[in-house]
């Protein structure tokens, strides 16, 4: 293990470490643009110059491998001057569009200018080279070639991660410009990541464009609900509106990336939400109060189970629910209602597209969790749907916004066979239109819990803000429903439910929220 | 600095003539009449003005009602950067940005509301604007109105001034 000194601090690092990463170990931040931990090293931006004793010239910290006894200085006058010079060079032709640039507030140029630049421009405005602005280059990306600092992160991403190679540099010198070939737009499912890795505002998100200034946004740790991969995300919101999802680093799951489809899943948490309890009276939908609806719903379920026998009652679970919610729902079905009609399906409308990188065919975040908790699926679900269609069910408790892959008409026809349909759901949809009682549930952004991804990794998602409107945390709904059916539960929140779950469910035994931590834990 | 204690004299008991009120009322009327007669004789000395027909000349740095500036072609100069809304201590500026039909402009304010009831006339918005798009140099106080809604100035009202 080579030992080196950085700004007078000695540090031991493994063979092959670069100066930039060694400096990180001792808390020294070396400015950089082209270096990205998940991409190959290009060494072209020259921002990371540092002084190394016995080297006649400054060295790029991102590409220089440490050797034993190396003495590195990052804060000398020589380094400062060089870095300021590099920055000035980059800004020569930069449009400084900050007022209209979505990157402002999280921009590498802005940040380093405030740290190392603060120079007055020595370049006449009319001499600036202009390049093409506002180009829709396909995918989720808008390109502004003028703002590009030619760091080649995007080129390397498309080369090394997606392998699709759509972006290239054209022309030479001052006129060098990043672009696509004419008529060959970005064509992969991971374009959104380009906006994340571009250190400046050259590649920005089409979806987030002009929606909000980034300094107004707050973030919280969440999990993407787009498929069973369970990519770790940072969800950004203002007030009670979500604005964007960004991948959160997790080497074991999504590294630093996420797919374009998943990136847009936040929209469902803003739009067409169920925000007030609804009851259907003689065909017409009416707003109801929690206080009267919950007892009514519990009474109806109990009544159906007592009159026709427990198997006249059915419960459909959802792989969009957390482990905690599924656990409570299973106990309600099997213990409190005593029915054998409990099932879920991972099927959803659509083609179940998948690839060999992140995107999984199962478009639910927690099908694995539902299976591990012993909730029947597959043939059991089909049998349950057949029983409902045959008029064999008097009351149905349904979690979710859809019934598997059934279309709106099919759902309406199916649910019309059941006199009492109680939905716990987040969004308007085929089920909310047909249900006799709708219990509005908090979205993933408004509640906490755990999902088990396709590989059996249990990961936590956290609430960002309180439930919108009159929606309630489904755990609260299920606990209250359970208690009205005679459970006597004292759970307060997801943590207490998870403790109970970990005690009784073998796959989760020994797990705690602490052991799951930031990055999840394998079953 | 130590905090001293100051005794404030309580209103004393009224004397008998004062408690009759009559004498005091006549005295008061005397003062009013005196001013009235004085104003009739020397009209140029009157302190009040017929606002809003007549307006005082405001000092050049007076911060009055806002206006949004226009470009030569009449479109708003504002690029919806949110700097003013960020700087505003009263959080009374609401902006919604949109894609401008003019690609050279790119971003423009679809909505730009200032809630004049919350504005504290600090001028931070003017300071913050990188485009000199918002000014407070109209010389007007916020005029009174009969509903709160009318005192939320919209982009059209602000561009007009
Ligand atoms: S890339 Fe950065 S410096 Fe350039 S206009 Fe955008 S925010 Fe400003
Ligand atoms: S577009 Fe962004 S990521 Fe690509 S080379 Fe330019 S600055 Fe780097
Ligand atoms: S004058 Fe002050 S309070 Fe009023 S809008 Fe401007 S920044 Fe806000
Ligand atoms: S600071 Fe100026 S340009 Fe920016 S939003 Fe406010 S008025 Fe418009
Ligand atoms: S980060 Fe080292 S040269 Fe760009």
Q: Identify whether residues B77 and B148 lie together within a single domain.
A: yes
Q: Reply yes or no on whether the pLDDT at B14 is more than 90.
A: no
Q: Identify whether residues B32 and B111 lie together within a single domain.
A: no
Q: Please, which pLDDT band fits residue B1 given cuts at 50, 70 and 90?
A: low
What is the Cα–Cα distance from A229 to A361, expressed in whole angstroms?
A: 9
What is the Cα–Cα distance from A480 to A493, expressed in whole angstroms?
A: 12
What is the Cα–Cα distance from A473 to A370, expressed in whole angstroms?
A: 19
What is the Cα–Cα distance from A273 to A371, expressed in whole angstroms?
A: 28
- The predicted complex's ipTM stands at 0.86
Average pLDDT of A130-139? 95
Encoding tokens for residue A80? Answer: 């400062």
pLDDT of residue B2: 72
> Each residue of A348-385: pLDDT tens digit?
988 789 999 999 999 999 999 999 999 999 999 999 99
> Each residue of A276-304: pLDDT tens digit?
999 998 889 999 999 999 999 999 999 99
Best of B80, B82, B130 to disrupt the A interface (most A CBs within 10 Å) is B82
Q: Please, which pLDDT band fits residue B4 given cuts at 50, 70 and 90?
A: confident
Q: Reply yes or no on whether the pLDDT at A30 is more than 60.
A: yes
Burial status of residue A166 (CB atoms within 10 A of its CB: 0-12, 13-18, 19 or more): buried
Q: Pairing between strand A313-316 and A342-343?
A: parallel
What is the Cα–Cα distance from A453 to B68, expressed in whole angstroms?
A: 52
Please say whether the beta carbons of A312 and A394 come within 8 A: yes
Encoding tokens for residue A295? Answer: 């007892």
Ligand 5 atom index nearest CA of A60: 2
Ligand 3 centroid from CA B121, angstroms: 5
Average pLDDT of A6-16? 94
Residue B1 is assigned to a structural domain of this protein:
no
Q: Pairing between strand A49-52 and B67-68?
A: unpaired
Q: Reply yes or no on whether the pLDDT at B13 is more than 90.
A: no
> Each residue of B119-130: pLDDT tens digit?
999 999 999 999
pLDDT of residue A117: 86
Q: Identify whether residues B38 and B94 lie together within a single domain.
A: no
> Each residue of B78-94: pLDDT tens digit?
999 999 999 999 999 99
Give CATH for domain A128-269: 3.30.70.20
Supply φ then ψ for residue A46, to 5 degrees.
65, 20
Ligand 1 centroid from CA A33, angstroms: 14
pLDDT of residue A464: 96
What is the Cα–Cα distance from B57 to B49, expressed in whole angstroms?
A: 12
What fold is seen in the domain A3-91? Answer: Ubiquitin-like (UB roll) (3.10.20)
Q: Identify whether residues B125 and B81 lie together within a single domain.
A: yes
pLDDT of residue A184: 95
Mean pLDDT for all residues in chain B: 92
Q: Identify whether residues B97 and B156 lie together within a single domain.
A: yes
The CATH number of the domain where B117 resides is what?
A: 3.30.70.3270
CB-nearest to B86 from A133, A210, A215 is A215
Q: Identify whether residues B150 and B98 lie together within a single domain.
A: yes
pLDDT of residue A82: 96
pLDDT of residue A180: 97
Ligand 4 centroid from CA A398, angstroms: 49
Q: Is residue A476 within a helix (H) or strand (E), and if so which, with residue range?
A: helix A474-484
> Each residue of A146-166: pLDDT tens digit?
999 999 999 999 999 999 999
Chain A CA closest to residue B105: A100
Q: Identify whether residues B38 and B108 lie together within a single domain.
A: no
Chain B CA closest to residue A104: B81
Q: Identify whether residues B147 and B95 lie together within a single domain.
A: yes
> How many CB atoms lie under 10 A from the CB of residue B157?
18
Q: Pairing between strand B134-135 and B67-68?
A: antiparallel
> Each residue of A454-496: pLDDT tens digit?
999 999 999 999 999 999 999 999 999 999 999 999 999 999 9
**Strands (E) located in A133-254:** 135-136, 141-143, 167-170, 177-180, 203-205, 218-223, 232-238, 241-247
Please say whether the beta carbons of A37 and A157 come within 8 A: no
A contact residues 119-148, partner B, Cβ 8 Å cutoff:
133-134
pLDDT of residue A167: 97
Please say whether the beta carbons of A49 and A6 come within 8 A: no
To the nearest whole percent, how much of chain B has pLDDT over 90? 66
Q: Identify whether residues B24 and B77 lie together within a single domain.
A: no
> Each residue of A402-460: pLDDT tens digit?
999 999 999 999 999 999 999 999 999 999 999 999 999 999 999 999 999 999 999 99
Residue B52 is assigned to a structural domain of this protein:
no
CATH class of A278-522: alpha beta
Residue B10 is assigned to a structural domain of this protein:
no
- Nearest residue to A229 (alpha-carbon basis) of A366, A38, A407: A366
Q: Reply yes or no on whether the pLDDT at A11 is more than 90.
A: yes
Number of domains in chain B: 2
Under the phi-then-psi rule, with left for phi > 0, alpha for psi from -120 to 50, and beta for the rest, what region is A374? left
Q: How far is CA A79 from CA A7, A43, A76, A312, B37, in A?
A: 12, 16, 5, 78, 82
- Whether ligand 5 lies within 6 angstroms of the CB of A46 is answered as yes
Q: Please, which pLDDT band fits residue B161 given cuts at 50, 70 and 90?
A: low
Residue B128 is assigned to a structural domain of this protein:
yes
CB-nearest to B81 from A99, A134, A211 is A99
| Cα dihedral A257/A260/A265/A271 (nearest 10) | 140
Domain range list for chain A:
3-91, 128-269, 278-522
Q: Identify whether residues B38 and B74 lie together within a single domain.
A: no
Handedness of CA A424, A429, A432, A434 (dihedral sign): negative
Residue B4 is assigned to a structural domain of this protein:
no
> Each residue of B91-146: pLDDT tens digit?
999 999 999 999 899 999 999 999 999 999 999 999 999 999 999 999 888 888 99
Whether A213 contacts chain B with CB within 8 A: yes
Ligand nearest to the CA of A21: 5
- Report the gap between the CA of A102 and the closest CA in chain B (Å): 9
Output the pTM of the full model. Answer: 0.90
Three-state helix/strand/coil letters over chain B: CCCCCCCCCCCCCCCHHHHCCHHHHHHHHHHHHHHHHHHHHCHHHCCCCCCCCCCCCCCCCCCCCCEECECCCCCECCCCCCHHHHHCCCCCEEEEEEECCCCCCCEEEEEEEEECCCCCCCCHHHHHCCCCCEECCCCCCCCCCCCCHHHEECHHHHHHC
Higher per-residue pLDDT: B47 or A444: A444
Coil/strand/helix, residue A286: strand
Residue B51 is assigned to a structural domain of this protein:
no
Q: For residue A241, how far is the Cα from the chain centroid?
A: 15
Residue B7 is assigned to a structural domain of this protein:
no
Domain that holds residue B141: 67-160
Residue B55 is assigned to a structural domain of this protein:
no
Mean pLDDT for all residues in chain A: 95
């Amino acid at each position: 293990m080579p030992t080196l000194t950085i700004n007078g601090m000695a540090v031991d690092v493994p063979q092959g470490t670069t100066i930039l990463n060694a400096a990180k170990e001792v808390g020294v931040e070396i400015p950089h643009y082209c270096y990205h931990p998940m991409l190959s090293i290009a060494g072209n931006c020259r921002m990371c110059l540092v002084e190394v004793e016995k080297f006649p010239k400054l060295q790029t910290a991102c590409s220089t491998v440490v050797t034993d006894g190396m003495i590195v200085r990052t804060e000398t006058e020589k380094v400062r001057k060089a870095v300021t010079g590099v920055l000035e060079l980059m800004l020569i032709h930069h449009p400084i569009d900050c007022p209209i640039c979505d990157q402002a507030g999280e921009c590498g140029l802005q940040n380093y200018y405030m740290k190392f630049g603060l120079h007055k421009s020595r370049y006449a405005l009319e001499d600036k080279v202009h390049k093409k602005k506002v180009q829709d280059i396909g995918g989720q990306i808008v390109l502004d070639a003028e703002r590009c600092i030619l760091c080649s992160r995007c080129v390397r991403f498309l080369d090394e991660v997606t392998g699709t190679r759509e972006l290239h540099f054209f022309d030479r010198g001052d006129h060098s410009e990043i672009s696509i070939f004419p008529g060959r737009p970005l064509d992969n499912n991971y374009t959104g990541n380009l906006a994340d890795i571009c250190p400046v505002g050259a590649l920005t998100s089409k979806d987030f464009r002009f929606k909000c200034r980034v300094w107004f946004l707050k973030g919280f740790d969440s999990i993407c609900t787009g498929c069973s991969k369970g990519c770790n995300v940072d969800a950004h919101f203002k007030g009670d509106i979500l604005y964007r999802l960004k991948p959160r680093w997790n080497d074991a799951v999504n590294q630093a990336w996420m797919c374009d489809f998943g990136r847009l899943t936040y929209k469902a948490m803003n739009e067409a939400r169920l925000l007030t309890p609804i009851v259907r009276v003689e065909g017409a939908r009416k707003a109801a109060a929690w206080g009267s609806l919950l007892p009514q719903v519990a009474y109806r379920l109990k009544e159906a189970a007592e009159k026709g026998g427990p198997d006249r009652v059915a419960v459909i679970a959802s792989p969009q629910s957390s482990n905690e919610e599924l656990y409570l729902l299973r106990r309600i079905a099997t213990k409190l209602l005593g029915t054998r009609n409990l099932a879920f399906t991972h099927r959803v409308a659509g083609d179940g597209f998948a690839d060999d990188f992140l995107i999984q065919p199962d478009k639910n975040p927690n099908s694995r969790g539902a299976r591990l908790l012993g909730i029947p699926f597959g043939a059991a679900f089909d049998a349950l749907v057949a029983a409902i269609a045959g008029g064999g069910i008097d009351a149905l408790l349904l979690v979710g916004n859809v019934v598997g892959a059934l279309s709106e008409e099919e759902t309406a026809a199916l649910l019309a066979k059941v006199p009492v349909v109680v939905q716990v759901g987040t969004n308007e949809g085929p089920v909310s239109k047909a249900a006799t009682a709708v219990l509005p549930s908090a979205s993933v952004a408004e509640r906490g819990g755990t999902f088990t991804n396709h590989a059996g990794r249990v990961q936590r998602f956290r609430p960002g803000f309180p439930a919108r409107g009159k929606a309630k945390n489904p755990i609260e709904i299920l606990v209250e429903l359970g208690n009205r059916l005679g459970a006597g539960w004292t759970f307060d929140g997801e943590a207490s439910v998870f403790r109970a779950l970990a005690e009784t469910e073998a796959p989760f035994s020994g797990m705690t929220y602490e052991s799951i931590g930031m990055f999840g834990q394998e079953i | 600095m130590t905090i001293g204690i100051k005794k404030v004299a309580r209103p004393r008991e009224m004397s008998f003539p004062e408690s009759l009120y009559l004498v005091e009322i006549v005295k008061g009327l005397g003062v009013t009449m005196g001013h009235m007669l004085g104003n009739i004789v020397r009209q140029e000395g009157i302190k009040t003005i017929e606002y809003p027909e007549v307006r005082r000349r405001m000092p050049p740095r007076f911060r009055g009602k806002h206006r949004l500036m226009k470009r030569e072609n009449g479109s708003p100069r504002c690029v919806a950067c949110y700097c003013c809304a960020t700087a505003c201590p009263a959080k009374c500026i609401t902006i919604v940005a949109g894609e401008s039909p003019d690609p050279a402009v790119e971003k423009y304010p679809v909505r730009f509301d200032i809630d004049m009831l919350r504005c504290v006339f600090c001028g931070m918005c003017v300071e913050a604007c990188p485009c000199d798009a918002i000014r407070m140099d109209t010389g007007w106080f916020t005029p009174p109105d009969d509903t709160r809604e009318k005192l939320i100035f919209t982009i059209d009202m602000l561009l007009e001034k």
